[in-house]
Structure 1
Amino acid sequence: MNLVKATGTIGGLTLVSRVAGFAREMLMSRVMGASWQADAFFVAFRLPNTFRRLFGEGAFSAGFVPLYAQRLQGENGEAEAKNFSEEVLAVFAPTLVLFTVVFEIIMGPFVFLISGYEGEKLSLATLLTSITFPYLILISLVSLFSGILNSLARFTAAAFAPALLNLAMLSALIFVPVGGTVSATALAIAVTVGGVLQLGLLIAACKRAGIVLKLRRPKMTPGVRQFVRVVIPATLGAGVYQISAFIDTFFLARIGTGSLSYFNYADRLNQLPLGVIGAALGTAILPQVSKHVGANEPGKAAKVQGQAAELAMLLCLPAALALAVSAGPLASALFQGGRFTAEDARLTALTLSIIVLGLPAYVLVKVLTPGFYARQDTATPVKIACIVLVATVVLNFALIPPFGIAGLAAAIAICSWLNCVMLYVVLHRRGHFRIEGWLASRIARQLLAGVLMAAALYAIKLAIPNWFSGSTGHRMVGVLALVGGGMAVYFPAVWMLGGTDKEELRALFRRRRPYTDAG
């Protein structure tokens, strides 16, 4: 499999989803503002998504994809893999339904515990969360079908599926633009509708690939037991991360009205390179690393990770620096307007400029963790995640009281680097992966090119300050000038400094095939 091609396919379609997501957020900020109804919706949206990351994407992929890939390479190939998928589905689906029913029953006390809301705000947040929570079932099943398609090197449908959620929510805002409780309720309904659309797309894509799963009675087969043994530590590890997310929500809800909105919009910009680069690379390399580990080819597995790290930093370093330097103009151009004031945009920009400092580390985590998952070692990331969780709690208590939302953003950035460093140190000590001299040299050159780009962006901001205020059109033109200027400096600089192989940089734009499978 070609790493650049796979990453380009996943990243390109993820970018389509992110663009739709930005359109959604731009309209949402203007319709909902930084109101208490907006905060209530963001609580309702974060809770099922937090559990989705717990049960669906991270833990499920960590356990399912390597085991599915192993069966594909076995004597019976696709038949054995399909049988394994049906066995897992038979246990996984009823578990999700039971979990969702339990939380629907205790929703009121649970939302109160997380948010601390009272009265009308608690009632609305509880209602909205009850509406959005079935999304957990739908999107977790999407993860199963995505894992099948990714193992078959069919990335298109899984990468495009999130766009359907964004389009559903965008439609709710377009047709119900009145704001307040009415628009918040329409958005909550759109979340569940989006999940139905995503699941339908993935089932259809699997059918086109010749994979039609039948529903069976739940049974603890040897394959399911093996899956459970792998996925439970991964779920515990993901649970540690999601406890951290609950802690963030807990503090955000108490910082003051609007804090959840500021964080949401800042994180939307932060998630753009993370989703397009980090998630795409992590998805693309896990089947490759699993294959080489299964074939007892550790050198080739490490080479895949090294190539992925280089590509990640080539794209992520300039993205992080650009977002930090341009946070103010970006937040103003994208979100300010309607019910979202200039002060709201300023606080969103402050949050963004701090949180993106941890972006390179977060992307590298997506490259490093497949080195554990491919070896069916989900326990080590759990232990590291526990340490990171403790650090997150300590930093939240230390930084949020004096600095508010800026302190929370700083805690997230610091802990992202702590997680990255600890994962790398363990892989290095075990001899599974190390930063070779060529990789360190290229990353250093990429960083230098990024610093030159950041200086150019700052100069552009000083040269045309009037373009970052006034009408939305003026602000958008100013942002386009920043984006164009940054790219015009970074990519020629990284080319001349030797920050990447020139053939590989050409492939990034022309979609050639220099990153071939080491096999």
Structure 2
Amino acid sequence: MSLVGKFMTVGGATLGSRIFGFARETLMAAALGTGPMADVFYAAFRFPNLFRRLFAEGAFNAAFVPLFSKEIEANGTDGAKRFSEEVFGVLFSVLLILTIVMELSMPLLVRFIIAPGFADDPQKFGITVSMAAVMFPYLMCMSLTAMMSGMLNSLHHFFAAAVAPIFLNVVMIGALFYALYTGADPLATAWYLSWGVLAAGILQLAVVYLGVLHAGMSIGLRFPRFTPNVKRLLILAVPAAITGGITQINQLIGQAIASAQDGAISALQYADRIYQLPLGVVGIAVGVVLLPELSRALKGGNLREAGNLQNRSIEFVLFLTIPAAFALWILSDEIIRVLYERGAFHAQNTEIVGSILAIYGIGLPAFVLIKALQPGFYAREDTKTPMRFSVVAVAVNCAAALTLFPRLGAPGIAIAEATAGWLSTILLFVTLLRRGHLVWEWALMRRTALLIVSAAVMGGALYYLRGVFAASLASGSPLLTKIGALSLLIAVSMTVYFAVAFLIGGADLGMIRRNLKRKAGAKPAPPADI
């Protein structure tokens, strides 16, 4: 399968998950709005979600995949199976201890880390503690899920791991439908969602385990032993965990600061869900596929192929995220109005969440480029350098959020996160370039400039058409009218962007055709010809 084909496989499954996520958030906006129970649920869920990114996705995508791939090359399937069982035994034991400690410490965690602003409200504080305790075991399920997903990705079985997150959204949508059908109050609705998160974690673990069995592997539970391979994994995983969870760390900092203002946490969450669509479809697809591909090329000594893979991934990211950034900036209010403005979600909520989404749009290319650049370090078993950059980015985010939030409210936190994202991107890019791990291509730089021009032309057309369709997109218009107008705007903008990009040379059919035909392990074409 070609590189782009693999991107499309993972991206397509992720797109399905994000569509269900939109449906979930739309129902949540109608049921909870930006009220206190929405703040409570999102605050409680953020913590297990953070640890999932820290100890699961970031650590195992960065550390487990290269080592598992090396075991396959060196010792075959039997060696890889033995390694995975050693890791599973240690991971299960560590997660069990961590879960017990966190459950006992939950009141302190909520008071000092998750939502310090809730401490003055005993009711919100108590409910947040209880819900966080219910949802925290989700971490254990998802960490084991991430390990098995790493196995599947290394074995070039991408679909099961990519489709598993859909089940979280399906279960939560079911809980919301039940709450709306029975007329449950916001508190009961939040409790249904909390138990739904735990149930979804168990279901996702079952899905990837079946995927591993289908791929011809099995995992037995071994007594935990710190073998040399496991020790090497931990050495790589700890810094990778911090780096992989950089976005979540920044969001947790923002949440802690935002907890001082009613409705700020849920406003950030609703905007986050929108920009997670392109981030998930493009960024996660690139990160998941690129790491095992780079690892394979480097282990085989194919340095030229590795450099080509890196650059083509960057090109793919820019081709899709630059226009998305322009569109989110210009249509932020309209997107929020169509998706969320109903029930408990009012016009004033649209204005706040729309301003946050516009700022996230500016940071979108950076957030996705990070996913394309980090594998350049991880495939070389260097997880410390990205970690150092993450520490710098977190410090900048924290300082900026504390400075801007008192003046701008929740949008100030979004500005801080976008700034930290661009700083991380620049540091990663420059370092790869200086080390010679990234090949400078003037052709790629030229096409990037032309893509920005194409997106600017699209943005101008979009800004004009937004005024033409203003009445159809207004708050009082029927929902179907708003959906139709927004869909037409998006369709026109995509047509304009692609037409201009191909016309002026920002993209060409030959480039896309060569990428689509490229087979794994095939000798890549010279950079100048791509």
- Tell me which residue corresponds to 2:35: 35
- Tell me which residue corresponds to 1:341: 346
How far apart in 1 are the matches of 2:305 and 2:148? 28
Deviates more, 1:110-119 or 1:239-248: 239-248
How far residue 491 of structure 1 moved from its aligned partner, in angstroms, is 1.1
How far apart in 2 are the matches of 1:397 and 1:248? 9
Contact 1:32 1:179 in 2 (8 A): no
- Tell me which residue corresponds to 2:491: 484
Q: Which amino acid aligns with 2:139?
A: L
Note closer, same or farther for the CA distance 1:295–1:517 as it changes in structure 2 (3 Å cut). Answer: closer
| SS of the residue 1:174 aligns to | helix
How far residue 245 of structure 1 moved from its aligned partner, in angstroms, is 3.0
- Tell me which residue corresponds to 1:501: 508
- Tell me which residue corresponds to 1:17: 17
How far residue 459 of structure 1 moved from its aligned partner, in angstroms, is 1.1
Pairwise mapping of residues 223-372 of structure 1 onto structure 2 (< 5 A)? Answer: 223-238=229-244, 242-254=248-260, 256-372=261-377
- Tell me which residue corresponds to 1:428: 433
How far apart in 1 are the matches of 2:470 and 2:512? 33
How far apart in 1 are the matches of 2:412 and 2:247? 18
| SS of the residue 1:73 aligns to | helix
- Tell me which residue corresponds to 1:513: 517
What are the Cα deviations for residues 85-111 of structure 1, in whole angstroms up to 9, with x where unaligned?
000000001101111111111111211
TM-score of the superposition, structure 2-length normalised?
Answer: 0.94
Contact 1:333 1:476 in 2 (8 A): yes
Note closer, same or farther for the CA distance 1:274–1:384 as it changes in structure 2 (3 Å cut). Answer: same
How far residue 432 of structure 1 moved from its aligned partner, in angstroms, is 0.6
- 1:141 correspondence with 2:144: yes
How far residue 398 of structure 1 moved from its aligned partner, in angstroms, is 1.8
| SS of the residue 1:106 aligns to | helix
Deviates more, 1:302-311 or 1:427-436: 427-436
How far residue 516 of structure 1 moved from its aligned partner, in angstroms, is 5.4
Note closer, same or farther for the CA distance 1:266–1:240 as it changes in structure 2 (3 Å cut). Answer: closer
How far apart in 2 are the matches of 1:72 and 1:458? 53
Q: Which amino acid aligns with 2:115?
A: S
How far apart in 1 are the matches of 2:264 and 2:168? 24
How far apart in 1 are the matches of 2:415 and 2:147? 34
Pairwise mapping of residues 213-224 of structure 1 onto structure 2 (< 5 A)? Answer: 213-224=219-230
TM-score of the superposition, structure 1-length normalised?
Answer: 0.96
What are the Cα deviations for residues 434-456 of structure 1, in whole angstroms up to 9, with x where unaligned?
33111111111111111111111
- Tell me which residue corresponds to 1:58: 58
How far apart in 2 are the matches of 1:179 and 1:517? 56
Q: Which amino acid aligns with 1:303?
A: N
Q: Which amino acid aligns with 2:509?
A: K
Pairwise mapping of residues 176-195 of structure 1 onto structure 2 (< 5 A)? Answer: 176-177=179-180, 178-195=184-201
How far residue 503 of structure 1 moved from its aligned partner, in angstroms, is 3.3
Deviates more, 1:292-301 or 1:485-494: 292-301
- Tell me which residue corresponds to 1:415: 420
Q: Which amino acid aligns with 1:9?
A: T
How far residue 230 of structure 1 moved from its aligned partner, in angstroms, is 1.4
| SS of the residue 1:249 aligns to | helix
Contact 2:333 2:351 in 1 (8 A): yes
How far apart in 2 are the matches of 1:26 and 1:329? 14
Note closer, same or farther for the CA distance 1:515–1:441 as it changes in structure 2 (3 Å cut). Answer: farther
How far apart in 2 are the matches of 1:399 and 1:120? 29
- Tell me which of 385, 388, 396 is aligned to 2:390: 385
| Percent identity of paired positions between Structure 1 and Structure 2 | 36
- Tell me which residue corresponds to 1:454: 459
What are the Cα deviations for residues 174-215 of structure 1, in whole angstroms up to 9, with x where unaligned?
011234100000001111111111111000111111111000
How far residue 296 of structure 1 moved from its aligned partner, in angstroms, is 2.4
How far apart in 2 are the matches of 1:507 and 1:375? 27
Pairwise mapping of residues 92-107 of structure 1 onto structure 2 (< 5 A)? Answer: 92-107=91-106
> What 5-or-longer segments of structure 1 have no aligned partner?
none
- Tell me which of 155, 180, 193 is aligned to 1:152: 155
| SS of the residue 1:102 aligns to | helix
| SS of the residue 1:296 aligns to | coil
Q: Which amino acid aligns with 1:342?
A: A
How far apart in 1 are the matches of 2:522 and 2:396? 38
- Tell me which residue corresponds to 1:209: 215
Note closer, same or farther for the CA distance 1:453–1:515 as it changes in structure 2 (3 Å cut). Answer: farther
Note closer, same or farther for the CA distance 1:242–1:351 as it changes in structure 2 (3 Å cut). Answer: closer
How far residue 221 of structure 1 moved from its aligned partner, in angstroms, is 1.2
How far apart in 2 are the matches of 1:515 and 1:70? 21
| SS of the residue 1:435 aligns to | coil
Deviates more, 1:47-56 or 1:76-85: 76-85
How far residue 406 of structure 1 moved from its aligned partner, in angstroms, is 1.3
| SS of the residue 1:477 aligns to | helix
| SS of the residue 1:215 aligns to | coil
> What 5-or-longer segments of structure 2 have no aligned partner?
524-530
